[in-house]
Structure 1
């Protein structure tokens, strides 16, 4: 396990590589690798562990009853997932966690993280603090997605999402973590309809784009 890399993640924020190396055995930590498109967790699974993406990235995918899928979120390198399910005994997951690219995941026991171990190491309080902060940020992320899909039009959803990215990424040039199909699923729209609307917005001078990179004009930011 690369403790130097882990020291830069939000879960282990404030801990040195040496601190992390010492605490990992207390957490029952273990690693697994996943191929692109492989499910890290499937809907219906029960887990008592938190996952931390050490390499690659993953999407949160919901499979609807009639066969369609929706992407509810993206899990970049260094981020965690499944903390809510791990906190509830016997709670089945309601979504798939799917590797977007070859990924390596560190799993740690939530129970061990929240409980001071027999060695009485002093790192659990820092980990609990970090976990609470991460959970709050994820809750805000879910609220942002609800805001993005609130507009009735595709254009409204696109502008809501891209303007929020512009605010977070510090300028009108933004990069999304999604392919075009994944972006359509995240915004809850049809892919061909999304592509058509993006074409119209480009013709009107609201934005330009190439693959997952977009540049918003001043007019687009004012309309958002």
Structure 2
């Protein structure tokens, strides 16, 4: 990103890190209508991640330099905008914290169960869709795709879950109200 700014997108995008060896890790998935890169914009640091959309996407670029300009310090729009940016940063912090929870367990099964448990609680039901295909899910959990698929198959055979593409059902459990 050349200038300081934040981005708003009309479709779902993945925030990814690609290392020099071509390894990809998905940090988060940003839904349509949400902002991304606000932390980079406010800190004036260069963008160190890639933002990838699976379909054509229009992105709105906002220059945030006015937020730090003393000329606008007493304007109500500036206070409201800063409050909204702070709320967005808090939400992103929660998303990244959840990703850390999902990638901290050492075993493939534990990572999968942590991620799927979080999704079930977030949706409030045991049948839900995730925003990733199988490769993206593996990249999000920092797992090899074949290891992920193999473990999902074992868990299905053991009756822990059912799945079809990106829809999952956790079996034999009930969510607390």
CA distance in 2, matches of 1:49, 1:159: 37
Unaligned runs of 5+ in 2: none
Secondary structure of 2:116's counterpart equals helix
Cα deviations across residues 3-54 of structure 1 (Å, max 9, x unaligned)?
A: xxxxxxxxxxxxxxxxxxxxxxxxxxxxxxxxxxxxxxxxxx443110011x
Q: Return the match for 2:116 from 137, 162, 170.
A: 162
Are 1:115 and 1:124, in contact at CA under 8 Å, matched by a contact in 2?
Answer: no
Match of 1:50 in 2: 6
Following TM superposition, by how much is the alpha carbon of 1:122 offset from its aligned partner in structure 2, in angstroms?
Answer: 3.2
**Paired residues for 1:21-170 under 5 Å:** 45-53=1-9, 55-89=10-44, 91-115=45-69, 122-170=76-124
Unaligned runs of 5+ in 1: 1-44
Following TM superposition, by how much is the alpha carbon of 1:115 offset from its aligned partner in structure 2, in angstroms?
Answer: 4.2
Match of 1:213 in 2: 167
Match of 1:9 in 2: none
Are 1:150 and 1:157, in contact at CA under 8 Å, matched by a contact in 2?
Answer: yes
Runs (4 or more) in structure 1 with deviation over 6 Å come to none
Secondary structure of 1:107's counterpart equals strand
Following TM superposition, by how much is the alpha carbon of 1:116 offset from its aligned partner in structure 2, in angstroms?
Answer: 7.1
Cα deviations across residues 43-76 of structure 1 (Å, max 9, x unaligned)?
A: xx443110011x2111111111222111111111
Are 2:14 and 2:26, in contact at CA under 8 Å, matched by a contact in 1?
Answer: yes
CA distance in 2, matches of 1:194, 1:150: 15
CA distance in 1, matches of 2:71, 2:137: 43
